[in-house]
Chain A
């Protein structure tokens, strides 16, 4: 079964996402920040990365996705970006004028059915 890496500094979000994904039989690993996330990509070789945009620093997740895009060993791994920034002040910070290396968005709080269908699509 596919392995999924969750990068989020909120342990409860990691846990909730893990419960949903494990219920569908996926193998789940987590990382608490961008740096650990990039290490996890190398060490765990996940089939998919679920990435939070805002961690310790604003838009840290975006930085991780760009790092992955620039590395040929990582750029093939699909990224599902998780965000709670829609309709907040942060939305203004989000770069809209440049290409963002992500394959999809889901928003917080998670809707389990939606999350599973997005994951299944990206992995197929």
Chain B
């Protein structure tokens, strides 16, 4: 049972104990009235002194117990202790009933049936085991009393005029009394405890369901907040894209106007045109990123995939990047396992994956750093690793870098250029062909991107990349 359910139950124990005490006041009052009425109607048949004594004892402990359990529960007393207190009360009640029966005719008194009521009450308040315990105690007390009275160990008080005086020594009847009460006691404890257990289980299930509903509601609220956040960032993104798309055009237009209107000295015209062209190239790169991203959603047909040699694609990409790598005085290490099977992805897309990952490595690694590119086989998959000694990615950002338009603060301050789309595109491509991608990084020490792509022999292979970084 969960801790929360326990708390709920301990609140219940307090309420149940209070109910028991209340019940006891009612019974005491009724017995008191019955004795007074009996004496009035039939004269004094019984030793009223001891009976009043027993009632006074019950009255005393009931008064002491009034509200006690609830106070203890609030003070954080354990459920076990509270249950023990209740158990002791029921046993005291059984004893009191036995004494009352003894002083009011023993076997002759039909109120022996009240043992069963106490057992039912015990089942309601406590566990099934307690219920059987009460049945046992009741049986022993009743049998003990009848035998003690029959054998004269204790005196028998005859209900004169109500029962025949010698009935308490008729052995057949006596044994029948004991057997009936004992069997009835155990039967009642079985029935009532079964019933009460079922009720309690239902109650607990209801409680747990409620709890689960509350948790679910919290989850939904959280999800809703997240959706709103996504929506908000989408709007902000649209604004950003609009701005990013306008800015290069405005810059190019400004340059052209300067030349046309004669503000640029002749010797600088070539330089300014080159700047305008560079800007146009940047613009094209952004637009093609946006298009790639949109194309990722297109359906892919297996039979349309033309496999390619990932190693030679890598070679081409590295050739294209060579100038930038030299510019930044980066140390480049390339390791390609010979004889790899072709990748089950078109050359155009494999090229995009390599280009994006390697150009990120170059962009975010300080001058003089190191870049390591590895391509190897892993069962029916190819595994590419692009490692750098750059600025790195903080743990909280590592999941988000694959989100569209997300750029870390460090990336933004390291390089102004970047649409925040490159890694989304790479992830989309890798997953599209049945591969996986992930990153490991330590801020300030560098980042390592691992990806897999299926070879033509098989499309699905479990990644076992985690041990790589350590080596």
Chains A and B come from one and the same complex: yes
Asked if A111 is at the interface (CB within 8 A of a chain B CB), the reply is yes
Name the residue on B nearest A54 (C-beta): B243
Q: A111 is contacted by which of B243, B255, B257, B416 (Cβ under 8 Å)?
A: B257
Q: A108 is contacted by which of B254, B258, B261 (Cβ under 8 Å)?
A: B254
Looking at B147-155, B189-197, B245-253, B315-323, the stretch in contact with chain A turns out to be B245-253
CB-based contact B275/A12 at 8 Å: yes
- Known contacts A13-B251, A84-B243: A19-B258 contact under CB 8 Å: yes
Asked if B279 is at the interface (CB within 8 A of a chain A CB), the reply is yes
- Known contacts A9-B416, A90-B239: A20-B247 contact under CB 8 Å: no
Residues of B within 8 A of A109 (CB): 249-251, 253-254, 257
Q: A112 is contacted by which of B242, B257, B276 (Cβ under 8 Å)?
A: B257
Name the residue on A nearest B279 (C-beta): A12
Residues of A within 8 A of B275 (CB): 12, 15
Name the residue on A nearest B240 (C-beta): A58
Residues of A within 8 A of B263 (CB): 19-20, 23, 112
Q: B354 to chain A: closest CB distance in Å?
A: 29
CB-based contact B250/A19 at 8 Å: no
Asked if B167 is at the interface (CB within 8 A of a chain A CB), the reply is no
Q: With the chains together, A58 CA to B240 CA distance in Å?
A: 9
What size tier do the contact residues of chain A reach? 20 to 34
CB-based contact B254/A13 at 8 Å: yes
CB-based contact B255/A16 at 8 Å: yes
**Which residues between 83 and 124 of chain A lie within 8 Å of chain B, taking CB atoms?**
84, 88-90, 108-113
Q: B234 to chain A: closest CB distance in Å?
A: 12
**Which residues between 220 and 264 of chain B lie within 8 Å of chain A, taking CB atoms?**
238-239, 242-243, 246-255, 257-258, 261, 263-264
Q: With the chains together, A96 CA to B330 CA distance in Å?
A: 50
Asked if A67 is at the interface (CB within 8 A of a chain B CB), the reply is no
CB-based contact A88/B242 at 8 Å: yes
Q: A12 is contacted by which of B243, B251, B257, B268 (Cβ under 8 Å)?
A: B251
Asked if A44 is at the interface (CB within 8 A of a chain B CB), the reply is no
Asked if B272 is at the interface (CB within 8 A of a chain A CB), the reply is yes
Residues of B within 8 A of A12 (CB): 248, 251-252, 254-255, 275-276, 279
CB-based contact B258/A112 at 8 Å: yes
Asked if B412 is at the interface (CB within 8 A of a chain A CB), the reply is yes
Q: With the chains together, A27 CA to B239 CA distance in Å?
A: 34
Residues of A within 8 A of B416 (CB): 9
A 44-70 binary contact with B (CB < 8 Å = 1; else 0)? 000000000010101000000000000
Q: With the chains together, A23 CA to B416 CA distance in Å?
A: 29
- Known contacts A20-B263, A112-B263: A89-B242 contact under CB 8 Å: yes
CB-based contact A16/B251 at 8 Å: yes
Residues of B within 8 A of A10 (CB): 247, 251
Q: A35 to chain B: closest CB distance in Å?
A: 11
Residues of A within 8 A of B239 (CB): 58, 88-90
CB-based contact A19/B238 at 8 Å: no
- Known contacts A58-B239, A89-B239: A16-B258 contact under CB 8 Å: yes
Residues of B within 8 A of A113 (CB): 261
Q: A40 to chain B: closest CB distance in Å?
A: 18
Q: With the chains together, A24 CA to B248 CA distance in Å?
A: 25
Q: B340 to chain A: closest CB distance in Å?
A: 43
Name the residue on B nearest A92 (C-beta): B239
Residues of A within 8 A of B238 (CB): 89
Q: With the chains together, A9 CA to B275 CA distance in Å?
A: 16
Q: With the chains together, A77 CA to B255 CA distance in Å?
A: 28
Residues of B within 8 A of A89 (CB): 238-239, 242
Residues of B within 8 A of A88 (CB): 239, 242-243, 246
B 416-428 binary contact with A (CB < 8 Å = 1; else 0)? 1000000000000
Q: With the chains together, A111 CA to B263 CA distance in Å?
A: 11
Q: With the chains together, A42 CA to B110 CA distance in Å?
A: 107
Q: B283 to chain A: closest CB distance in Å?
A: 11
Q: With the chains together, A115 CA to B251 CA distance in Å?
A: 15
Residues of A within 8 A of B272 (CB): 15, 19
B 263-279 binary contact with A (CB < 8 Å = 1; else 0)? 11000100010011001
Name the residue on A nearest B236 (C-beta): A58
Q: With the chains together, A9 CA to B264 CA distance in Å?
A: 22
Q: B179 to chain A: closest CB distance in Å?
A: 91
Q: B244 to chain A: closest CB distance in Å?
A: 10
Residues of B within 8 A of A108 (CB): 246-247, 250, 254
Q: With the chains together, A40 CA to B430 CA distance in Å?
A: 46
B 456-468 binary contact with A (CB < 8 Å = 1; else 0)? 0000000000000
Task: Supply 23 A–B pairs (Cβ within 8 Å), ascending by A.
Answer: A9-B416, A10-B247, A12-B248, A12-B255, A12-B275, A12-B276, A13-B247, A13-B250, A16-B258, A19-B268, A20-B258, A84-B243, A84-B247, A88-B239, A88-B243, A89-B242, A90-B243, A108-B250, A108-B254, A109-B253, A109-B257, A110-B254, A112-B258
Which residues of chain A have a CB within 8 Å of any CB of chain B?
9-10, 12-13, 15-17, 19-20, 23, 54, 56, 58, 84, 88-90, 108-113
| Other A-B pairs, 5, CB within 8 Å; known A90-B239, A108-B247, A110-B257 | A12-B252, A19-B272, A58-B239, A88-B239, A108-B254
